[in-house]
Amino acid sequence: MNYAESFEKIVAQQIARVSKMKETTDFINYQSLEKIKIGVIGGDGIGPAITAEAHRILETLLSDEVKAGKVEFRIIDGCTIENRAAAGKALPDDVLTAIKDCHVLLKGPTTTPRKGDQWANVESANVAMRKELDLFANVRPVKVPVLDIDWTFFRENTECLYALGSQGVNIDEDIAIDFRVITTPGTERIAKLAFDYARNNGKKRVTIVTKANVVKTTDGKFLDVCKRVALDYPEIETDDWYIDIMTAKLIDEKRRSQFQVMILPNLYGDILTDEAAEFQGGVGTAGSANLGKSYSMFEAIHGSAPRMVTEGRAIYADPCSVIRASAMLLSHIGFQTQSEKLFSAIEICTETEKKLIITGREDGATSQEFADYILDTVSKMA
């Protein structure tokens, strides 16, 4: 193998990607569309079960809009590990066509094969979707009022190690090399989105998270670019922390409540938001937005939990993560009243009343029962 040619190919791909990023486009205005098309992707494992409940809640909250023809739901069935492995692609062609014919997606967890699995070693469907739709911002809120926690993480979604995770090189039996990419325009747009969010939502502090003292080139660029963007927001306090100590400070009772908005490269954001979700009840409770200028996708942040399916426990899977994602979806496409009702209902059902408890087993509520509980709570709101 010519290693220089392999690296040249990667560099050429990234140069082309940067050129495309520099093309000026505005974010889509969903409310200006004649019809908002929402694609629903069940995914793998417990995904179809929990996503069906979130879909049912969305259909109920948007029933008037569906009847009026303003909103249309489309089921996209083909994004399963069986179909992806058979096609040898992270996203089969027909699935990608169906996805691109929608404006916004609600997505359940999908299985990503790893070495030694029964499936072909195709790329992550999530990573592929983020690349194809240029969903550059992964936004994950975590809010626990009783602990004075109100965090919003802006995780860059299309760069870092994940962007080139399937293009590593095995030099020989002793050496394996992966590649990491950070770009100026890629960092600028995630930083600007985070600072705009802070400004528009009354947040006073934005924290940049890297390991720039060791990973000097790529993390160094990420930190420098974020600091340059911060100059346009003088009213907002900006600081930076290294990822290792940041994981400690999130559990520091004296410091954690001081953090508000955080900007991170892809890998660090994935790790830190999973840790943060534990304060809220675990990764099964946290929703996630993947935002681009032309498309958006909302999903659960946890995996497909195939063991629950194997053990016959899929009906007891916690749907809260994808339901929270649904509330974020409603807000993003302009239905703020419905979004606020759903967020309030989730808080009542999981924090205040707790009439039903999800345990993942027979001693807890089923996904359907919990979704019914949330819908009943919404129906009682003015």
- pLDDT tens track, the chain, 382 positions: 577 888 888 889 888 988 888 886 788 899 999 999 999 999 999 999 999 999 999 999 999 999 999 999 999 999 999 999 999 999 999 999 999 999 999 999 998 877 667 777 788 898 889 889 999 999 999 988 889 999 999 999 989 887 777 778 888 889 888 889 999 999 999 999 999 999 999 999 999 999 999 999 999 999 999 999 999 999 999 999 999 999 999 999 999 999 999 999 999 999 999 999 899 877 767 788 999 999 999 998 788 998 999 999 999 999 999 999 999 999 999 999 999 999 999 999 998 899 999 999 999 999 999 999 999 999 999 6
Q: Max CA-CA distance within the chain?
A: 67
Instruction: Report if residue 287 sits inside a domain.
Output: no
Contacts of 372 (CB under 8 A, 6+ apart): none
Instruction: Report if residue 52 sits inside a domain.
Output: yes
Both 50 and 67 in one domain: the answer is yes
For residue 116, the model assigns a pLDDT of 65
Q: How many domains is the chain built from?
A: 2
Give the Cα separation of 35 and 102 in Å (integer). 10
Instruction: Report if residue 153 sits inside a domain.
Output: yes
Asked which of 250, 282, 314 is the last residue of a domain, the reply is 282
Instruction: Report if residue 25 sits inside a domain.
Output: no
Give the Cα separation of 111 and 119 in Å (integer). 10
Q: Could you tell me the two tokens for 111?
A: 């299985």
Asked which of 256, 282, 308 is the last residue of a domain, the reply is 282
Instruction: Report if residue 21 sits inside a domain.
Output: no
Asked which of 282, 313, 340 is the last residue of a domain, the reply is 282
Contacts of 173 (CB under 8 A, 6+ apart): none
For residue 7, the model assigns a pLDDT of 85
For residue 5, the model assigns a pLDDT of 81
Instruction: Report if residue 26 sits inside a domain.
Output: no
Return the CATH number at 223.
3.40.718.10
Report CA torsion sign: 247, 250, 253, 258: positive
Domain that holds residue 177: 144-282
Instruction: Report if residue 108 sits inside a domain.
Output: yes
**Do 300 and 288 meet the contact criterion of CB atoms below 8 Å apart?**
yes
Both 244 and 275 in one domain: the answer is yes
- pTM as predicted: 0.85
Both 268 and 178 in one domain: the answer is yes
Both 347 and 277 in one domain: the answer is no
Long-range contacts (CB closer than 8 Å, 24 or more residues apart) made by 24-28: 25/293, 25/294, 26/293, 27/293, 28/103, 28/293, 28/294, 28/295
Both 166 and 246 in one domain: the answer is yes
